[in-house]
Amino acid sequence: MQVKKRVAVVGAGMTKFMRRAQETGKELAFEAAKQALDSAEMRMQDVDSVALGSAPDAFDGVHMKGEYLLDGAGGWQKPYSRNFVGGGTGVFSVIHGWWHVASGLFDTCLVVAEEKMSTCLPHPQTAFLTIFDNMIERPLGPNLIWIFALEMHRYMQKHKIPKEQIAQVAVKNKRNALDHPSAQIAKAVTLRDIMNSEVMAWPVQRLDISPVSDGACAVLLASEDVARKITDSPVWIDGVGWNLDTTYWTNRDLYFPRYVANAARMAYGMAGITNPRKQIDFAEPYDPFDYKELHHMEGLLLCRKGEAPKLTKEGVTERDGNLPICPSGGLLGVGNPIAAAGLMKVCELFWQLRGEAGKRQVAGDPRTAVAQAWGDLMQIGTVVVMRS
Amino acid sequence: MKPATPEVSYKELIFEAALEAYADAGVNPRRDVESFVCSSEDFYEGTSIFDEYVPDQIGGVQKPVCTISADGIYSLATAYMQILTGLFDIVAVEAHSKASDIVNISPIYDLALDPIYQRPLGLNANFIAGLEMNAFLHSSKANLTHCNRVIEKNRSNARANPVAMDTTHAPVSRARVLSYPLVMDDVAPLADGAAVVVLAAEEAAKSLREDPVWIKGAGWASDSPTLETRDWDRATYAALAAKQAYRQAKINNPASDIHIAEIDDTYSFKELQHAEALGLCEGRAYEMLEQGAYDLRGELPVNPSGGSLGMGHTLEMSGLVRAIEIVQQLRRSAGRHQVPGEVETGVAQAWRGVPTASGAVVVFSR
Amino acid sequence: MPSQPQGTGLKEEDFEREKVLTVAYQPLAKYSWATGVAISRFLSGLKAGEILGTKCDHCGRIAVPPRIFCELCFKRSAVWVKLPDTGSVNTFSISHIATDTTRLKTPTIPAVIEIDSTRHAGFLHIIGEAKPEEVTMGMRVKAVWADPEKRKGSITDIKYFKPIK
Amino acid sequence: MSDFLRIEGDFPVHFRYTAGIAGENFLREIKDNGRLVATRCNNCQLNYLPPRIYCERCMSKLEEYVQIENVGVIQSYTVCTQDNEGKQLAEPVNVAFVRFTSAHGGLIHRTSGEVCVGDKVRAVFKDKSSRTGSILDIKYFEKI
C-alpha cells in the first residue's frame, strides 16, 4: 500500500513524571510541548495542526478535557482534536498525528499526551470502577486490578509461568529507569522485594504495578520534505497499526492479546517487516504491569506464545541484550501517567534511534524499533514502527 | 430522534443506525469497512474510557477502531484524513446521543468549566451562553426578534422532517429566563439518536453507488479555550474551520458558492453568529434572515432539517446530523423538507458547546 | 533528550499544610442507563432465577451476556435460549482490595465464569463457599441465587458461584 | 415501559484541583496583597489575565509578572437564574465579563447590581482576614 506522505518525528519533549504535580494539566501539556518544539528549533506558528491524547476525563476531573487542555498543548487557533483509546492512547496519539501529515493535509503536527491523575480522589483507582460495564459489572464492585489479575493468571496458567519469571520484568525496568531523568521513583528493587510486596489481587502484587503518575509528553511530526529541512536526523514512522477487540472480554480467551497481534501485523505490513524478531532492534511494549511486557512481546510477534518469560530470564531483553525491551525503564520504572506514558515510549524510540538516549542508549546502532500501548477492557493494541 | 429511548440501550440504538447506514451504502461492515471512527465524551456516557464500548454494535470487532472525543464532524474529518493517507478505502463514522440516560445535564456542563476560575461561582454553565449572547447582540445589530425568528424557522422546518423529534407548536416565548438574555426557547432541547456514515475513496465510492456525495473539504479549529482570552464578538473557531475547508474545496465566495447550509444552532443566536463566521451572507446574517433567504425555500436555506432547535440536540452527534442532512439534500432525497432548485454544494458545521470555542466544518458536493 | 525535565512534584503533606492552593469539588453527574432489549431481558431472567443467552441464527454461536446482534456476523440475533446455571472457571483472582484500594478483611474471588452449553461465553462474577486455595481454573461451579423476594433484576441476583463438589 | 429496566450510577470520586504555577501566584497576590497580576509575553506584547506560564500564541514560557490596575470595562453581562445543578437560585445573579485595558483577557465574576456594556468597574476584595486564596476572594465588581 502506498502512503501519500512519509512522516518523521523531528522533536520530542517530556516532563518529569510525578505522583502529584503542582502544575495544572494545561501547564504539564505546555512543558512537554515547549520542549518538543525547542528540540526541533521550531516555532509554534510553523506548526500546522495539533493532536492531543489523554485518558479518562475522570482523572483530571474536567469534562471535555481535550478542550480544557488545548491552549497548553499549542492548539490555539489551530486544527486541534483529541483522540481517546483508553490506555492505548499514548501511542495512538502519534498515529492520530501521523494521518494529519500522511494525508497531505498538513506538513506538521504537534502531538501531545497529558495525564493528571492526582486530581482524582480518594484514589485514581476509584475512577476505574466506571470503566466496567455499567449494567452487569459495576454492581459487583470491581476494581481495575481485577482485570489485570484475571488476565495475568490466565496467561500464567496457560504457559505454566512461575510468578518469579514475571517479576523479573519489574526488576529490569525499575533498574533501567535509574538512568531516566524523568523517572518518578528511580529505585532499584530485587526479585525478593517484589515477591514480598503486598498482594493486591493475586497474582498481582504491589510492585508488579507501575506507579500512578502525573505528566506529559510531546513529539513533533513533519512530512518528509519539511522534516529534512528541520533536522539531519529525522526518525521515520514507517508503520502504524491499531485494533480493537470485542467489548465482551468475558467471551474471549485472555491468554493472548490477539488485537495487539492484529495491530502489529498492520504496522509491520506497512513497514515491510516480515520477521520482527530479526528486523526489530529494540522494543518499548506497554508495561503498566510486569506481565504485560511479556504478553505484549508475544502480541508484537517478537517471540512465540509463552516464550517471553524465557527470553527475559536469559537476559535477552536487558538493555545490553540481543533484543532490549523497555530500555527507558517503561511504565514500571518511569511512571504511568496513562496517555503520557504511552507517548513516552515513542519519545524513547526517537531518542534511541538518534543515539541521544545517553546512559540509556542501547548498544549496536539501532535502526528499527517498535512502540506499543494497550488499553480499554484488555481490548486495544496500538503500534508504531520507527526507523532512523 | 426522540427525547428519550427507554426501550433500547445505547448499543442497540447505535446498532440500528449502523444497519441502516451499511444497507444504504451497500457494504458489509465485517468484510468491507476497514476502519471505524467513533465520537464520544465520557461524562456524557457516565462511563470512563467509553471507547471500550463501541466496536460490537458497529461491526468493528478486531478492526482498526478509534474514538475522537468530539462532535461527529471531527470524526468525519478524521475518516477523511485516514482515506487520504491511502491506508483505507472504506471508513465508517459513528456518533450518538443517549442524553436520556443522563439524569441532569447541568452538573456535567459544570464539569467542563475551568475549576479554578469559573466553577467556584456556582452558577449554571448556561451563564456563559448568556454572556456570549449579550456580547453578540451588542456587537451586531441583531436583536431578540431575530433570535425568535431562527427558533420559529427551525421548528417549522423540523415539522416536515420525519427524523426530528416532535416539536412544540407553541409560539416562541421569552418568559423563562435562564441567563438574561438567554431564555429556555433559545436552547435546543436534548434528544436521543444514533448516526453512522460510510465514507469511501473515489474508486470505491463509484463502485458502490451512482450518486455518491463528495467531501470537498474539511476543517476544524479552536479559539482560546480560556473564556477571558478568546474573541467575544464573533465565532473565530468557525471562521478558521471554514477557511480550512473552503481552501480545500476551492470555495472563494461562500455566500454564492454554497447553496445550502446546516450549521450549529445549539442556541438561537449561534445560528446567526455561525452563518456570519461561515461567510453565508454579504452583510450581516440577520439581514438575510429578515429577507427570508435562510428559509427552506429561500436562496440559501440554513438548517432546512430544523437544526438542533427543531430536531433536538444530540450532543456529539449533532454535527453528524447536520452532515447527513446535506448529503440527503444533495441527493435530493430529503422528502418533504427537500429544498427547491439545483443544490450542488452544501456545508455542515458543528460547535462543541459551552464553554468551548471549537468547531468543525465540512463541505459536500454532488 | 532533555536533561532537565520540568515539573513540580508535591507530597500529600504539602496539601495538608496548605502549601499549595487547591479547589475541592464533588462531581454531581448522575445517570440512569436504559438497559435495553437484551440486558433488560437478561436481568429479568436473573430475577426469575434463569440465565438467558442469545443465539445467532447465522453462525449458531450462543452469547452471554446476550445482545440483539451477533457482533461477528453483524446480523440480528433474536433467538433466546435458556442456559444452565452451571459453568466452569476460565480465570480467577484473589482480591484483597476494594474498589477504592482499601484492604479487605476477607478476600473476594472474582472470576470469569464460562456458562455451560456455550463455547467460552460467560461473564464476570464472584466465587463463594470456597477457600481461595481451593479454587482452580476449569473448576466446575454453580450459581447460588438470592432469595426470590430479594432479587431485583440485577447481576447480584446471583449471589456468587460455588464449587460443584 | 416497565419491561425495560434502568440502572442508576454516578462517578464515586471527588476532585482536588491545584491552582497551578501561574494560578498559585495569581491567587496569592489577591489573598496577600489585594492585587491583580498578569504574566507578560514580551514576544507578543500581551499581559495574560488570568496569568499563565505560557503564551498560547507563541508558546513562550512566561515568568514575568506585572500588576494590572484595578480598573476594568464591562465587555458583556448576564443575569443568571440557575445554579450549577440547574436549580433555581433564590436571587438571580449578575455576572459580567470584565476586560482590563492593560491586559489581554480579563475576569468573569459577579457584579454588584446591574451593569451595562462599557461601564467602568473595579474588583472589590474580601477583607484580608477572610481571604482563602480563591477566585471568590474577589467579592464582586462594582461600578466606579
Q: Hey, is B107 helix, strand or coil?
A: helix
pLDDT mean over B299-313: 97
Judging contacts by C-beta atoms under 8 Å, the chain B residues touching residue A63 are 41-43, 108-109, 111-112
Residue D4 lies in a domain: no
The residues on D that touch C, with CB distances below 8 Å, are 3-19, 21, 23-24, 27-28, 84-85, 133-134
Chain A interface includes B64 (CB < 8 A): yes
Q: Please return the burial class of D101, using the count of CB atoms within 10 Å of its CB with bins 0-12, 13-18 and 19+.
A: exposed
The DSSP code for B311 is H
CATH class in words for A7-121+211-387: alpha beta
Element (H, E) at A139: none
What's the angle, vertex CA A214, arms to CA A211 and CA A220, rounded to 5? Answer: 115
Show the cell assigned to B63.
Answer: 478492526
Q: Do residue C36 and residue D23 have CB atoms under 8 angstroms apart?
A: no
Phi, psi values for residue C23, rounded to 5°: -120, 125
Question: Which residues, 6+ apart, have CB-to-CB distance to A345 below 8 Å?
Answer: A90, A91, A284, A286, A328, A330, A371, A372, A373
The DSSP code for B170 is S
pLDDT at B168: 79
Query: Nearest CA to CA, how far is D78 from chain B (Å)?
Result: 5
Cα(A151)–Cα(A131) distance, rounded to whole angstroms? 16
Q: Do residue A45 and residue D54 have CB atoms under 8 angstroms apart?
A: no
The tens place of each residue's pLDDT in chain A, 388 residues long, gives 689 999 999 999 999 999 999 999 999 999 999 999 999 999 999 999 999 999 999 999 999 999 999 999 999 999 999 999 999 999 999 999 999 999 999 999 999 999 999 999 998 888 889 999 999 999 999 988 999 999 999 999 999 999 999 999 999 999 999 999 999 977 899 999 999 999 999 999 999 999 999 999 999 999 999 999 999 999 999 999 999 999 999 999 999 999 999 999 999 999 999 999 999 999 999 999 999 999 999 999 999 999 999 999 999 999 999 999 999 999 999 999 999 999 999 999 999 999 999 999 999 999 999 999 999 999 999 999 999 9
CB D97 within 8 A of CB B231: no
Query: Nearest CA to CA, how far is D16 from chain A (Å)?
Result: 5
pLDDT mean over B260-273: 98
Cα(C99)–Cα(A125) distance, rounded to whole angstroms? 7
Kindly give the residue spans of alpha helices, DSSP state H, lying in B140-267. 144-158, 202-208, 236-249, 254-257
Cα(D144)–Cα(C94) distance, rounded to whole angstroms? 67
Q: Hey, is B276 helix, strand or coil?
A: helix
Structural domain count, chain D: 1
Q: Is the pLDDT of residue C151 over 60?
A: yes
Could you give the domains of chain B? 10-101 (3.40.47.10), 106-190+213-365 (3.40.47.10)
Residue D5 lies in a domain: no
Chain A interface includes C62 (CB < 8 A): no
Chain A interface includes B84 (CB < 8 A): yes
CB C29 within 8 A of CB D11: yes
Task: For the beta carbon of residue B247, count every other beta carbon within 10 angstroms.
Answer: 12
For chain A, the domains span: 7-121+211-387
Q: What residues make up the domain containing D125?
A: 20-143
The CATH number for D53's domain is 2.40.50.140
Q: Which residues of chain D fall below pLDDT 70?
A: 1-2
CB D82 within 8 A of CB D89: yes
For chain C, the domains span: 36-163
ipTM surpasses 0.95? yes
Q: Please return the burial class of B298, using the count of CB atoms within 10 Å of its CB with bins 0-12, 13-18 and 19+.
A: middle
